[in-house]
A and B are shown apart, each in its own frame.
Chain A
Amino acid sequence: MNKQRNKDYRQRIDQALATPKLQDALHKFGDAYLVSRGNAFANYDFEAMRSEISAMKTDVRENHAALLQQFISNAEAAGATVYLAKTAEDANNYIAELAKQKGAKLAVKSKSMASEETHLNVALEKAGTRALETDLGEWIIQLAGQRPSHMVMPAIHMFKEDVAELFSKQTGQQEKAEIKHLVEVARQQLRQGYLDAEIGITGANIAVAETGGIALVTNEGNARLASTLPKVHVVLVGIEKLVPTLEDATKVIRILPKNATGQPLTSYVTWIRGAVPCAGEEKELHIVLLDNGRSTLAESPHCQDALNCIRCGACANVCPVYQTVGGHVFGHIYIGAIGIILTAFYHGLENAAEIVRACIGCRSCVAICPSKIDLEEIILSLRETIGEEEGIGTGKDIVFRKVMRNRKLFHGLLRAASVMQKPVTRGERSIRHLPLFFSSLTEWRTLPAVADKPLRDLILQQPQKVAKPRYRVAFFGGCANDFLYPELGLDLVTVMNALDVEVYYPLEQNCCGVPALYSGDKETAIELAKQNIDAMLEGNPDFVLTTCPTCTMALQRDFVEHLKDNPAWAAKAEALAEITVDAAGFIVNQLGAAELFKELATAEKVTYHDSCHLKRGAGVWKEPRQLIETSGFELVEMDHADRCCGFGGSYSLTSHPDIAKMILKDKLNDIAESGASCVAMDCPGCMMQIRGGLEKQGSGVRAQHTIELLAEALKNQT
């Protein structure tokens, strides 16, 4: 790990966290965005639309060479000059050379992320051509000497007062901090630029192979001016923007603004093919097709889907980490989830090394992506690559490789910890303060103590009275359930027994491997997958039940993924995935037994927190709500119920506790505002985070697993 780089990064985080105004703006934007987006898609089937886009873009990737050739010949036939730039430098040199040839003093630009990617403005400046950004946000950023903090709204981190100050310097008079006025100032100031510029530079949202034309999706009208007034038009476009036909282009345009900002359509969609008339002559049109790492990305089996991105920026809009620290921390040139990936390929792994760990893995981005890219999975695989390149840190290395892979040693150490922690727990179930340099860990939440006796010991002592079991299920506890919250496991047995299901606990089961995987140690994760597959399949259970959705994802998805190319294991992994199900889903979907709990509970206001991996991984969110309501609790929804709580395992403990703390704060506010006296959830990780936060606040609200609430209700049965 590079120390200086890490230090700079930490400093950027601190700076961002010290700007509550920024967080406030990004949170408000996130909320407003979801509302307008909902309206924009009201009459559309988003899932169907994004499946189409994803299939089309995948097709493009697979037939890229032929489509690119088709685009180039059509564009050339229409009078365009096409240049294929291998690197950012090639693209810049070509454009700068052209500017020199034309003796251009001024180039007007409309918004282009590709030109940010290549740092084109710097190259033009060196060639003696001033580059003038005309997109309002880009111009603000240019005047401030910064880089965009969002791909669609580059100046989202700035406020009208900042803009007024920048504009005042520009006009030489005091401009008032009133948005309408500032927009007018920009109009006046930039108008002459279009008329004076020798060159207009735009990006392109789409390149259509069928026609050899490009499409620009914009709101301000500057791209129309920049592509009309100057005699030379340069289009800088990434080679992944290619689509086969006008239908495909239309489908991208239909989904892009809706998903970007919740706008049904932007003010302008501009379709340009070839050298069109210009001042009585022909316009000189240059299309610079930018590769710069895209071909390499296409070759990467784990990451290539990222090329399907249509740059809507939504993955940032909904990201709790982005909302907390903004795009200057959570990005490089490209920002948010996609930014992490593109940075690694376009700007080098080195520039992505820090931010690749800043993702908490909540999968909000995956759910909103119009190209259906599994961004979180790609980020994980990059983390693994970086883990291999830079190491994952010696401490972690020893824990994962030497300790976790050896179940007896790992569990032995946990048992020892249960004894050693006595001085800090003082016999209580949670740790409120830790001494010395661990103290920051319990500053903003308590931590659960390691239980006196783990679930694996207790469960054997709990008698099960199931006369005629409907099913015999194996219980995969996961570390938290086993060693921190054994009572949850016992409650599961109670609940299952009441439903005529017999539960057993395979003792050879080990950690699910996700902590190792998230830290970039895939080897350990694979070793643990094998141990667990053997352990869980051994007793031939009807189902394998989980109470932790992260474990569920591991058993249902990750094990299969890790072992799919291993003939000795692939089928076994599939078999385990097939029968693994989370407890709430099992009761509702497999047993159809929600009614058993009908009106058993004492009426209490309960709000529900969706765990990221349960809702967006396993697709379970209705089931626990149904159980809570049926059993007689009064369910009140909190705002942002499915927003991450900020746990993320080692994310909140070691890698990014400062960000995790802010995300938790948001969650606690939403819980408090719901007016509930209990918050339910289906994940021991979320319990640890939310319960710890509530305890530290001295809040009266209790945090319970849905299964605990059901067990509680059952006690009222007799």
Chain B
Amino acid sequence: MKKTTELKKSFVAAAQVVGAEVIDCKNLQEAVAYLAEQVDGPLLCPSFASGERAGLAEKLVAAGVTLVAEDFRQQAPHAKWGVTGVNFAMADTGSLALESTAEDIRLATTLPEIHFALLDPEKILADSLDAVEPMRQLHQRDPRNYIAYITGPSRTADIERVLTIGVHGPKQLHILLVPKLSSDPLEM
């Protein structure tokens, strides 16, 4: 438990340094309320295991959020918001790992301006070397993979080396810490 608290602390600090918003939620309901407050139009909500189990989509709809749940290729280019789960996180760099082989996950995390990621703090690992184990398991489980490590919003320093946020990917990354969502790094 103590370890989780410490890892959470350093994860939050590192994620904030790279420009991510971190929101500590007591439960899924709080996260849903946050999303309902932030989102003001169609939200890309691809299917992922922990979200399905917890009834995320239903809860969002109940809270008045308009969801895009299919036909992502058509919808995603116009959507401003996307929400996904997270497989696991890495404390030292404040990074998220998303098993994104399902195309909808990729579309929901690359095209919109704002990406919300729901992370169970139990899934925070110390660093990328600790992440090798679940990475290998993912590679063993699935024959093909598209796995993304995401650290903060999209950025560039290509003009006069001035750090500028939001080039081609999301301009904002909101990490919602939601306990009891999933403790399995192999599932999102």
* Residues in A lying within 8 Å of B, measured CB to CB: 25, 29, 32, 77-79, 134-137, 140, 153-156, 158-160, 163, 179-180, 182-184, 186-187, 190-191, 195, 210-211, 213, 219-222, 224-225, 227-228, 246-247, 250-251, 253-254, 261, 264-279
Most A CB atoms within 10 A — which of B110, B129, B131?
Answer: B110
- Cβ of B62 under 8 Å from chain A: no
Q: Which residue of B lies closest to A195 (CB)?
A: B77
Contact B93 A213 (CB under 8 A): no
Contacting residues, chain B, for A224 (C-beta < 8 A): 106, 109-110, 148, 168-169
Contacting residues, chain A, for B128 (C-beta < 8 A): 250, 253-254, 265
Contact A276 B160 (CB under 8 A): no
Min CB gap B113→A, angstroms: 9
Contact of B152 among A32, A79, A267 (CB under 8 A): A267
- Cβ of B167 under 8 Å from chain A: yes
Min CB gap A314→B, angstroms: 15
Contact of B167 among A25, A187, A251, A265 (CB under 8 A): A187
Contact of B154 among A140, A153, A219, A271 (CB under 8 A): A219
Contacting residues, chain B, for A220 (C-beta < 8 A): 154-156, 167-169
Contact A32 B169 (CB under 8 A): no
Contact A276 B168 (CB under 8 A): no
- Chain B 110-140 per-residue mask, 1 if CB under 8 angstroms from chain A, else 0: 1100000000000000011101100110010
Contacting residues, chain B, for A191 (C-beta < 8 A): 77, 168
What are the 6 A-B residue pairs with the smallest beta carbon separation, nearest first? A221-B169, A274-B144, A137-B158, A269-B149, A221-B154, A136-B158
Known contacts being A78-B144, A222-B168, A279-B103, is A156 close to B151, with CB within 8 Å? no
Most B CB atoms within 10 A — which of A154, A155, A267?
Answer: A267
Contact B144 A136 (CB under 8 A): no
- Cβ of B7 under 8 Å from chain A: no
Contacting residues, chain B, for A195 (C-beta < 8 A): 77
Min CB gap B25→A, angstroms: 24
- Cβ of B2 under 8 Å from chain A: no
Contact B160 A268 (CB under 8 A): no
Contact A136 B146 (CB under 8 A): no
- Cβ of B95 under 8 Å from chain A: yes
Contact A271 B146 (CB under 8 A): yes
Contacting residues, chain A, for B145 (C-beta < 8 A): 211, 213, 271-274, 276
Interface residue tally on B, bucketed by range:
35 or more
Contacting residues, chain B, for A134 (C-beta < 8 A): 168
Contacting residues, chain B, for A246 (C-beta < 8 A): 132, 135-136, 139
Contact of B110 among A221, A266, A274 (CB under 8 A): A221
Q: Which residue of A lies closest to B167 (CB)?
A: A220
Q: Which residue of B lies closest to A140 (CB)?
A: B158
A-contacting residues, B129-183, CB 8 Å: 129, 131-132, 135-136, 139, 143-162, 164, 166-170
Contacting residues, chain A, for B31 (C-beta < 8 A): none
Min CB gap B99→A, angstroms: 10
- Cβ of B101 under 8 Å from chain A: yes
- Cβ of B107 under 8 Å from chain A: yes
Q: A179-B162, A213-B145, A269-B148 are in contact. List 7 more A-B contacts (CB 8 A).
A: A221-B169, A222-B167, A228-B107, A254-B127, A264-B18, A273-B146, A275-B144
Roughly how many angstroms separate A77 CA and B77 CA in the complex, as a whole number? 32
Min CB gap A611→B, angstroms: 30
Contact of B161 among A29, A77, A78 (CB under 8 A): A29
Contact A179 B159 (CB under 8 A): yes
Contacting residues, chain A, for B132 (C-beta < 8 A): 246-247, 250
Q: Which residue of A lies closest to B107 (CB)?
A: A228
- Cβ of B9 under 8 Å from chain A: no
Contacting residues, chain B, for A187 (C-beta < 8 A): 166-168
Q: Which residue of A lies closest to B128 (CB)?
A: A250
Contact B131 A250 (CB under 8 A): yes
Q: Which residue of B lies closest to A282 (CB)?
A: B144
Roughly how many angstroms separate A246 CA and B134 CA in the complex, as a whole number? 11
Contact A272 B146 (CB under 8 A): yes
Contacting residues, chain A, for B111 (C-beta < 8 A): 225
Contact of B160 among A179, A219, A247, A254 (CB under 8 A): A179
- Cβ of B14 under 8 Å from chain A: yes
Roughly how many angstroms separate A467 CA and B151 CA in the complex, as a whole number? 69
Interface of B is mostly: loop
Most A CB atoms within 10 A — which of B103, B109, B157?
Answer: B157
Contact A182 B159 (CB under 8 A): yes
Q: Which residue of A lies closest to B161 (CB)?
A: A29
Contact B169 A268 (CB under 8 A): yes
- Cβ of B73 under 8 Å from chain A: yes
Known contacts being A78-B144, A213-B139, is A183 close to B151, with CB within 8 Å? no
Contact B167 A221 (CB under 8 A): yes
Contact A136 B106 (CB under 8 A): no
Q: Which residue of A lies closest to B152 (CB)?
A: A267
Contacting residues, chain A, for B95 (C-beta < 8 A): 265, 269
Contact B14 A264 (CB under 8 A): yes
- Cβ of B61 under 8 Å from chain A: no
Roughly how many angstroms separate A276 CA and B136 CA in the complex, as a whole number? 17
Contact B150 A267 (CB under 8 A): yes
Q: Which residue of A lies closest to B113 (CB)?
A: A187
Min CB gap A112→B, angstroms: 15
Roughly how many angstroms separate A195 CA and B111 CA in the complex, as a whole number? 11
Contact A136 B159 (CB under 8 A): yes
Contact B154 A267 (CB under 8 A): yes
Min CB gap B93→A, angstroms: 4
Roughly how many angstroms separate A381 CA and B24 CA in the complex, as a whole number? 58
Q: Which residue of A lies closest to B77 (CB)?
A: A195
Roughly how many angstroms separate A195 CA and B109 CA in the complex, as a whole number? 15
Contacting residues, chain B, for A265 (C-beta < 8 A): 93, 95, 128, 149, 151
Q: Which residue of A lies closest to B129 (CB)?
A: A250
Known contacts being A250-B131, A279-B73, is A267 close to B144, with CB within 8 Å? no
Q: Which residue of B lies closest to A77 (CB)?
A: B143
- Cβ of B102 under 8 Å from chain A: yes
Contacting residues, chain A, for B106 (C-beta < 8 A): 224, 228
Contact B129 A247 (CB under 8 A): yes
A-contacting residues, B39-98, CB 8 Å: 73, 77, 92-93, 95
Min CB gap B31→A, angstroms: 23
Contacting residues, chain B, for A267 (C-beta < 8 A): 18, 150-155, 169
Min CB gap B121→A, angstroms: 20
Contacting residues, chain A, for B156 (C-beta < 8 A): 136-137, 183, 219-220
Contacting residues, chain B, for A137 (C-beta < 8 A): 156, 158
Known contacts being A179-B159, A224-B106, is A270 close to B164, with CB within 8 Å? no
Most A CB atoms within 10 A — which of B92, B129, B146?
Answer: B146
Min CB gap A45→B, angstroms: 14
Contacting residues, chain A, for B146 (C-beta < 8 A): 227-228, 270-273, 276
Contact A276 B103 (CB under 8 A): yes
Roughly how many angstroms separate A476 CA and B101 CA in the complex, as a whole number? 66
Contacting residues, chain A, for B167 (C-beta < 8 A): 136, 183, 186-187, 219-222
Contacting residues, chain B, for A186 (C-beta < 8 A): 167
Roughly how many angstroms separate A227 CA and B106 CA in the complex, as a whole number? 10
Roughly how many angstroms separate A32 CA and B135 CA in the complex, as a whole number? 34
Roughly how many angstroms separate A32 CA and B102 CA in the complex, as a whole number? 40
Q: Which residue of B lies closest to A184 (CB)?
A: B166
Min CB gap B69→A, angstroms: 16
Roughly how many angstroms separate A260 CA and B169 CA in the complex, as a whole number? 21
Contact A273 B157 (CB under 8 A): no
Min CB gap B1→A, angstroms: 24
Contacting residues, chain B, for A264 (C-beta < 8 A): 14, 18, 92-93, 151
Contact A155 B102 (CB under 8 A): no
Min CB gap B125→A, angstroms: 12
Roughly how many angstroms separate A401 CA and B50 CA in the complex, as a whole number? 77
Contact A268 B149 (CB under 8 A): yes
Contacting residues, chain B, for A183 (C-beta < 8 A): 156, 159, 164, 166-167
Roughly how many angstroms separate A29 CA and B107 CA in the complex, as a whole number? 35
Contacting residues, chain B, for A250 (C-beta < 8 A): 128-129, 131-132, 135
Contacting residues, chain B, for A159 (C-beta < 8 A): 160
Contacting residues, chain B, for A273 (C-beta < 8 A): 139, 144-146
Roughly how many angstroms separate A190 CA and B154 CA in the complex, as a whole number? 15
